[in-house]
Amino acid sequence: MVHASSRPLRSHSAGSLLGGTAAVPGDKSISHRALILGTLCVGETRIAGLLEAEDVLNTAAAMRAFGAQLERDQDGSWLVRGVGVGGLGEPDDVLDFGNSGTGSRLVMGMMATTPIRAVFTGDASLRRRPMGRVLEPLRLFGAEAEAGEGGRMPITLRGARVALPVRHHLTLASAQVKSALLLAALNAPGRTTISQAALTRDHTERMLRAFGAQIHVEPLETGEAITLMGEAELGATSIMVPRDPSSAAFPVVAALLVPGSEILVPDVMLNPRRTGLFAALRAMGASLEVTNRRDSGGEEIGDLKVCSGPLTGIEVPPDWAPSMIDEYPILAVAAAFAEGRTVLRGLEELRVKESDRLAAIAAGLKALGVSVDELADGLIIEGRGMDVQGGGLIATHMDHRIAMSFLVAGLATRDAVTVDDTQMIATSFPDFCDLMRRLGANFAEPD
């Protein structure tokens, strides 16, 4: 059922190929962190290439509420005049993070060791997501939190009156929780050590070094331990935000599936903890070529050339999940067009994303005529090669990645695919539809 306030969109192959340059937006993870760390500096941080999507703009609004001065320059770069570690002011109003789990959790960590109070909320989707996973370890620093049932928003967080250093082992593979704890540690005395069994995204560690924090990462037999010296003084710097591999995933898979297509994705981040999708697609036989590798602010970037071609189903190792957790919806679409079976396991985390993504993916693939078994922690997808029927209406459940993934699917199905809403795409990729149309995608409002 399509509601009057929604924006449904239809996608159809229409026999057209995709070609050109896919200049996807700046990386969302880097954008959030650049704003937060710029706020925790004394001085002026310049950020070029910031993702100006709703999620990031909500984080920017929160930084202003804590006392930072933010300006957008005429050249599109952002200037952040920070307040320093421990210098945060108390917000006058509720902080609304919209759909952003990353922004809200990282900001909880940022303020958890400063003796101020803030109220966190978000949209209906974010208010359903579990926050206990970050609130419980933040209490170790001395923070206090009042939350709704199940640790959900709205949340009132009171930073520690007397912050304590922490030694904590993460049993959950979550870069958001790890990053929140490292941000909290900046204003706690002495050394805080966070260990983890799984190697999650390390953007926070890389950027903390760039801002001058004393941080050490020690490999363990399983995982790693990260030690940070608290009561830090961060130095303002300049950040160039690389292009987002999670956003690049959609035009990349579209170009692989639409016969005769060839596109270039320039300046995309190649951090090995973010490129699991590209590795999985190569294992399926995809033609992906990286040229012009270089360094940008501690992150490797390069230009990615993508050519269409047949794919073969594979079994994706569960330990790849942290490097591609947001890309499983579009990987599942690629698997639907592969020859043979694809097995995806170790994905319990997808149950508590913007939607229950495993259930949403399974329902969407079935609507396309693809056989799929939904497991407690994954999916088994019986690929149909380039013979996917399509048709029907896809329920997106307010999830931007579900919407974009099935719009991509419709470019290669026999019958048009309609998603029930596209408004939420603006949370991460506001230019998605225009960019895809420039490449040759046939998106239109349904009749």
Residues with catalytic annotation?
Answer: 326
Question: Using an 8 Å Cβ cutoff, are 102 and 77 in contact?
Answer: no
56, amino acid identity: V
CA distances from 3 to 7, 391, 399, 420, 446 (A): 8, 19, 15, 8, 14
- Report the sign of the C-alpha dihedral through residues 242, 177, 106, 223, in that order: negative
Longest CA span, the chain: 64
Tokens 């919209």 belong to: 98
Burial of 222 (0-12, 13-18, 19+ CB in 10 A): exposed
Q: State the angle between helix axes of 400-410 and 328-336 in degrees (0 to 180), rounded to the nearest 10.
A: 20
Cβ–Cβ contacts within 10 Å for residue 300, how many?
16
User: Up-side HSE of residue 37: CA atoms within 13 Å toward CB?
Assistant: 33
Q: Residue 414 and residue 157: Cα distance in Å, rounded?
A: 51
Write the Ramachandran bin of 71: left for phi over 0, alpha for psi from -120 to 50, otherwise beta.
beta
Tokens 């990386």 belong to: 27
Q: Provide the 3-class DSSP secondary structure of residue 279.
A: helix
